[in-house]
């Protein structure tokens, strides 16, 4: 399941996985994100609070996740990944080659700084 919360008038979307991700999670996110992109042209930022990331329910879910990224990355200016997991700290460097958004990792203690960075003009 992915919980989500909008900040600063639909300019920044925060997502928090809680349990293994499911295909339905990406249908729900698409239904939330697409109207905002249609109205504003893009999102200033996406905060991925991955402190409790538990992976994907199935390979099909991983494919849905990749499709979501493929279909939306051009419309997101910045992505902040909040996690203390060592591997997730490297994830921004890996995905930076595949997405047009600027991606940065933040430790859990810097959650507020991550949100502030997403709200900065740029």
Residues with Cβ within 8 Å of 16's Cβ and at least 6 positions away in sequence, in order, are: 2, 3, 4, 5, 49, 51, 52
Beta-strand relationship, 2-7 and 12-17? antiparallel
Give the pLDDT score at 9.
Answer: 82
Instruction: Confirm whether pTM is higher than 0.75.
Output: yes
Rg for the chain, CA atoms, rounded: 13
pLDDT tens digits, the chain, 122 residues: what are they?
888 899 878 889 999 998 999 999 999 999 999 999 999 999 999 999 998 888 899 999 999 998 998 899 899 999 999 998 876 666 666 666 677 788 889 999 999 999 999 988 76
């Amino acid at each position: 399941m992915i919980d989500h919360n909008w900040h600063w008038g639909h300019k920044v979307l925060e997502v928090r996985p809680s349990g293994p991700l499911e295909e339905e999670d990406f249908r729900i996110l698409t239904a939330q994100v697409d109207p905002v992109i249609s109205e504003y042209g893009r999102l200033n930022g996406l905060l991925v609070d991955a402190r409790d990331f538990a992976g994907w329910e199935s390979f099909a879910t991983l494919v849905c996740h990749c499709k979501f990224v493929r279909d939306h990355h051009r419309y997101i200016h910045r992505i902040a990944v909040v996690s203390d997991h060592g591997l997730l700290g490297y994830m921004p460097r890996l995905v930076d080659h595949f997405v047009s958004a600027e991606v940065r990792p933040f430790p859990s203690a810097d959650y507020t700084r991550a949100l502030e960075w997403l709200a900065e003009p740029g």
